[in-house]
Every structure is written in C-alpha cells, then in structure tokens.
Amino acid sequence: MTKYIKPFFIIVALSACLTGCEQASEEQKEPIADKKIAELRLQFAPDKRVALFQVASRNEGSKIVLTGETNIPEAKAALLDSLKDRGLTVTDSIELLPSAALGGKIFGLVNNSVANIRSDPRHSGELATQALLGTPLNVLKQNGEWYLVQTPDQYISWVDHGGLVVLDKAGFETWKGTEKIIYTRVAGFSYMAGNETAQPVSDLVMGCVLELAGEEKDFYQVKYPDGRKAFVNKKEAKPVDTWLAQANPTGDNLTDIAFQLMGAPYLWGGTSTKGMDCSGFTKTVYFMNGLVIPRDASQQVHAGQPVQSEQPFDQLEVGDLLFFGTPATPEKKERVVHVGMWIGDKKFIHASGQVRVSSVDPGNELYDEYNVNRFLRARRYAPNFEGSILEMKNEVLF
C-alpha cells in the first residue's frame, strides 16, 4: 500500500502548489493596479481640489477591471499603458470627464451675482467656494439638478442648476467674442430701465461681468447669460478691455481694493463682497487688479516668490501675502490655515471675523499676538507671476 500512497500524495501536493501559485498570481494583479493608481494620483492629482483622479480596480477572473472617473486624459492613458505593458488584461470602465452625457454642453457661465459652489451636490453641502456673475466654468458632469464644475482657479466643486447657464462650444465662443463690462463697486444693482428708480433686475457685487449690449446716457445696457436685459450705472462699472488695460497689482492699487472691503463679513468658502474667508479676501483683492490666484491659503503659499520666513517682517513690501499656521515637525506636515496682505507700517489686512487691519507691533493697539506667533512665511506675487497665477491681460478669460 505504501508504494501506491506516496505518489498519490506527491500528485496532490503538486496540484495544491500549482493551484496556490495560480491564485497568488491572480491575487497580485489587483495590488499592482492599486499601486500604479496611487502613483499616478500622486503624480497627476496630488491636490484633489483642482484635479480629479478617482479610479479603483478589481479582479474579474483573469482580468483587471478599472472603474471611476478622471478629468486628466494623460493620467488615464498612463495607467492603461502601464498595466498593458505588464501583460495584464484590462477592462477600461474609467469615465473621462467632461461626461459624454452632457451632449457637448461642457461650458458654463455663472448667472447669479454670486454662485455658491459646494463640496457635495446638495444645498446642505459645505460651501467650497464662490464664483461671480459672468465667470466662465468648465462643466464636467451632471447629477440631477447639480453640475460638477471647474472654476478659472481650477477648483472643482458642485453648483446647482440655478447658478449657471450651460453652453456648447459654439455658444461659449460667441459669448467670449462679445464686449463686456465689469462691476467695480462693492455692491449695487442692475435695473430694468436706465435710471436707479426703476425696478432692480438683480443685485451685483464687485467683479461681476455682463455682456455689453449698448449704452443709454449714463447707463450701460447689459445682457445676462440667460438672456435677461438690464441697465448698469456707468459710474459703477467699466468696459472689461478698459479695466484690464488699467489693471496693475501695485501696492497702492492692491490696498485700494483691500480697504474698500473693510468690514466685509467672514464666510467660510466665500470669495465675494457678500462674505469671504481669508483666502477669498486676498483672491478678490488680486482679481480686481487683473490676476486670478489660487483659491485656498494652502495653495496660495506655493505661488509667487518667497520673501521672508521669520520675523521681524523687515523685508516685506505692500501687497505681499503673509501665511500663518503650524510649522512642520518630524511627526506632522506643515499646515497653512490663514493668509493676510501686508499694507506697510507694520500692519496687514485680513478676513478674520470680518475684514480688518492688524499689527505685528506689540506696542500698537491693533497688535495681533495670535497670528504673529503662528507666522510661517510671506510670498510676493508681482511682478513675476510665478506658480498658478493667471494674468488676465495675457489670457482671455471673459
């Protein structure tokens, strides 16, 4: 019996080994895909606020199935090529945004004075950012009455259908070719007729852009993205071309806009004169001087040139941005959580409770000990607009 049993056990053992090896090979496929997805996410979309690469993998028999979505064609192509180069069989179910379901309507124009753009497609979702009337948007996909959009500063979040008008490429190019005005007062109204006793069409805030349809004495006749017509006092607006020609982010011009916003209420996610957070404030100040800068303080700190990384603030110039937070330690990364703008005389202006002026001088009544103690460093944007800074004179936005 023994001489017959021994070969039997050898055969069983070999069979188990082969089966186990085959299973191990199958099990290794998913980690390979997951590892590559993680690498490409770090390479192409390290900041999920401005880039979308939500991809996952799973095994189905001998195949790897890739699912999810991205708005970065290069990242998707790199993933597929990498896995196929390894001899793996791949089923590609990754949706490349903008979604084909949009039917080519992949452009949007903000249609309200201020559009609230949220982290989730629901009105109770966190306010991520705002966009002003006339701001062009890239539309990525639709979920019910909500659109996933990307703003000119590359922020990706959701806006409800009432906040924008969606267009195809032809419609968007037609709009871009029209003359426009920009509203330059902190806040006001457009009217149904060329006088300020007429019924308002809507409110307006600093930075709103409208198509110019004509002129009537002291008023511009304007057109909204949805076709509404209105009148705006010429004293409160400028033709966009004229405004851009004059836009110059000097210290004096930046502080002029900043002081017009004094007392504006703090609003997490806000970038308008109706309410703004710290980075929304600096973003608005620079926007009204012809620059689109990154949205959040933790993004703004990577733009421009380094100026100073320690006190006593003696290298700063008016208009420099000061960043505050928690420095890096061996255990934790640096956290940039606040930003303000230097205005000289040992003072900076920032949105904290409301837009206010604070001092770095312990002898001044405006001394801000809390922020002075968490100062990290300062950056200068002008005149070398390095990093993710869009100079609107050189790139047509409106």
Residue 116: which H helix or E strand, with range? Answer: strand 114-118
Amino acid at the residue 80 = L
Angle, helices 278-287 vs 251-260, to 10°: value is 120
- Nearest alpha carbon to residue 130 among 264, 311, 314: 264
Spatial distance between the Cα atoms of 51 and 10, rounded to a whole number of angstroms: 55
Q: Does residue 216 contact residue 199 with C-beta atoms inside 8 Å?
A: no
Phi, psi for 136 (deg, rounded to 5)? -75, 140
Confirm whether 161 is a catalytic residue: no
Q: Does residue 21 contact residue 66 with C-beta atoms inside 8 Å?
A: no
Spatial distance between the Cα atoms of 243 and 231, rounded to a whole number of angstroms: 19
Contacts from 303-306 at CB under 8 Å and sequence distance 24+? 303/379, 303/381, 303/386, 303/387, 303/388, 303/389, 304/379, 304/380, 304/381, 304/384, 304/385, 304/386, 304/387, 304/389, 305/379, 305/380, 305/384, 305/386, 306/377, 306/378, 306/379, 306/380
Confirm whether 338 is a catalytic residue: yes
Q: Does residue 226 contact residue 246 with C-beta atoms inside 8 Å?
A: no
Spatial distance between the Cα atoms of 315 and 320, rounded to a whole number of angstroms: 10
Confirm whether 278 is a catalytic residue: yes
DSSP3 helix / strand / coil % (the chain, rounded to 5)? 25, 35, 35
Say which of 17, 123, 161, 350 is annotated catalytic: 350
Say which of 17, 123, 278, 302 is annotated catalytic: 278
Residue 83 tokens, joined: 């896995």
Phi, psi for 303 (deg, rounded to 5)? -100, 165
Strand 335-344 versus strand 209-216 pairing type: unpaired
Q: Which residues are catalytic?
A: 278, 338, 350
